[in-house]
Amino acid sequence: MNKTWRVLDVNRERAQEIEKKFNVGALVSNIIAQKNLSDNEIEKFLNPTRKDFYDPFLMPDMDKAIERIEKAIKNKEKIIIYGDYDVDGITSTTILKRFFKDMGVEIDTYIPNRLLEGYGLNKKAIESIAKDYTLMITVDCGITSIEEIEIAKKLGLDVIVTDHHETLDEIPKAIAVVDCKRKDNKYPFTQLAGCGVAFKLTQAYCKKLNINENEALKYLDIACVGTISDIVPLVDENRIIAKLGLKLVKQTKNIGLREILNQIGFKKIDSQTIAFGVSPRINACGRMGHQEDALKLFLTNDPIDARNLVKKVEEYNRLRQETEKKIFEEADNEAQNEIKANKKCIVIGSEKWHHGVIGIVSSRITEKYYKPSILLCIEGEEAKGSGRSVKGIDLHKAIVDCSKYLKHFGGHSMAVGLSLETKDFEKFKSEFEKYIDENLEEDLVQELLIDEIINNKDISIESVKELSLLEPFGEANYVPKILYKDLKIDSIRSLSEGKHLKLTLKDDNFMIDAIGFNLGNLVNDFQIGDKIDIVGNLEINEFNNFEKVQINIKDLRKSV
């Protein structure tokens, strides 16, 4: 797939100011300059502290939520947390469960089974919960559950919604609806993950009852895991949660998290460890219908129990990978038919697919073809699915436009979940394709944003290590991409049975290695002596205690 390369503009004068004021190198100062931050914002970006958190009571209905929780605790009411089965939902539930236990309050939990119940609140669960509880706190779900919350009210079950997803025109008539996506929101930051909102609830509780704020802050390791995993922008308050939280992750007292980190065995604990190590494993539990084991892992205080649970998690992840591989191959064949038919989006379904993993497959299809995709698992009279989008198409807005054919839906601009009656599949597909046709003037081409053009003078062990000042990396704060031009291929080969690409490159007398993961198919497109331009990330490769700089290739082409 062709990508367009665009080098971002840098205000060199401002970059030089930053270099002097903050005592950083040219590469780092140029990247910070692109962010258009004030000096105070740069200080907060590089060195966030607990003082940088916003007042949690600026959130809509936070005062009502705390007041109702206080009342329930005082009256010894039975309280339950209703979470979600993904990492964000599991970490949100963990934060509230553990926090209130520390306060001497036992709160129960409920995580729906993805395969049997689907996402969010459901009538059957509400009816069961209402028999034993008088207060339910939702985390990472609930903002679109208008009908289900009405049922809860009729059954005498009070509901506090804490969520971060997009709202509909109407919000649920709950006791409190804490969601910064509300139209009447006054909170300065609207992009928190569900676990971020749960964390703010604990901050608010501490503030209201004059409890030491450390009682909330000690769960920043768990909030960090959920925030990074949910792919929310790692800027502003999310960056504070992630940066401070990663410090706690490295010395975490959560036995389950420590055990899973030991199992992964990454040399360095950073945002990539969470995103590519912890997150897929925890998500695999929910995807394969074992969400309770993920929650048990974060709640256990028994090391032996933690080790046994991690073994189970590893097995769920292995099964998830096998299932995903099989479904991707089938979905990719279907997607190619849609591409041949000149479709601007990909909407496909099958009775053979496992709906626990089709969200990941949808991501891979969208990444491969750079088109919005929706994959549906057809189970008798109902079809359940997930969708992923590309820059320029608000997927949530698109499915709202087609909602007359949907039973349930939710999500945000880049990712959605939905269900519909099987008989309406073709009508929905037609309506969705029509929306994309009308709102997408031409086929999108993926744009590769480049932070800086470099040469051999810019590369040293020190300058590359200094890039760690910009961590944690993630959504809206990506690992910096550099463009290095006119490199001569000194050697080229494929690795791992043709999967990856390995190059040694020469710039006059300067030599540098490059690795292209999943780019092994390009090995025959180039030969020794070719001059090429490479876009990639600069990183340190350590082997036998010897460090050297290498380029992690994101794209390459022959020099003009």
The domain that contains 462 carries what CATH number? 2.40.50.460
Write out the residue range of the structural domain in which residue 551 sits.
448-560
The predicted pLDDT at position 516 comes to 95
Cβ-contact 134, 158 below 8 angstroms: yes
Cβ-contact 500, 518 below 8 angstroms: yes
The predicted pLDDT at position 445 comes to 84
CA-based nearest residue to 550, from 541, 87, 558? 541
Altogether, the residues listed in the chain come to a count of: 560
Residues 64 and 188 in one domain: yes
CATH number at residue 212: 3.90.1640.30
* Residue 19 forms part of a structural domain: yes
Radius of gyration of the chain (CA): 24
Q: What is the pLDDT of residues 48-83, one digit of tens each?
A: 999 999 999 999 999 999 999 999 999 999 999 999
Residues 110 and 174 in one domain: yes
Sign of torsion over alpha carbons 318, 321, 327, 333: negative
If phi > 0 it is left, if psi is from -120 to 50 it is alpha, else beta; for residue 529 that is left
345-363 in b/e form (b: 16+ CB < 10 A) is: bbbbbbeebbbbbbbbbbb
The predicted pLDDT at position 104 comes to 97
Determine the distance from the C-alpha atom of residue 524 to the mean position of all C-alpha atoms in its chain, rounded to a whole number: 35
Residues 234 and 359 in one domain: no
Instruction: Report cis status (omega within 30 of 0) of the bond before 472.
Output: yes
On average, the pLDDT of the chain sits at: 95
Query: Which residue ranges in the chain fall short of pLDDT 50?
Result: none
The predicted pLDDT at position 524 comes to 93
Instruction: Report cis status (omega within 30 of 0) of the bond before 480.
Output: no
228-250 in b/e form (b: 16+ CB < 10 A) is: bbbbbbbbbbbbbbbbbbbebbe
Residues 84 and 210 in one domain: yes
Number of domains in the chain: 4
Q: What angle do CA 539, 541, 545 make, to 5 degrees?
A: 140
If phi > 0 it is left, if psi is from -120 to 50 it is alpha, else beta; for residue 548 that is beta
Supply 94's token pair. Answer: 């963990």
* Phi then psi dihedrals of residue 54, to 5 deg: -80, 160
Residues 371 and 413 in one domain: yes
Residues 208 and 352 in one domain: no
The predicted pLDDT at position 543 comes to 82
Boundary of a domain, candidates 379, 404, 439: 439
CATH number at residue 430: 3.10.310.30
Contacts of 122 (CB under 8 A, 6+ apart): 112, 148
* Residue 233 forms part of a structural domain: yes
Residues 156 and 222 in one domain: yes
Residues 474 and 519 in one domain: yes
* Residue 286 forms part of a structural domain: no
Q: What is the pLDDT of residues 92-149, one digit of tens each?
A: 999 999 999 999 999 999 999 988 888 889 999 999 999 999 999 999 999 999 999 9
List, in sequence order, every residue forming a beta bridge with 534; answer none if it has no partner: 484, 556
Boundary of a domain, candidates 225, 250, 275: 250
C-alpha to C-alpha distance for 236 and 436, rounded to whole angstroms? 32
C-alpha to C-alpha distance for 175 and 153, rounded to whole angstroms? 9
Residues 492 and 529 in one domain: yes
* Residue 319 forms part of a structural domain: no
* Residue 483 forms part of a structural domain: yes
Residues 14 and 108 in one domain: no
Residues 462 and 421 in one domain: no
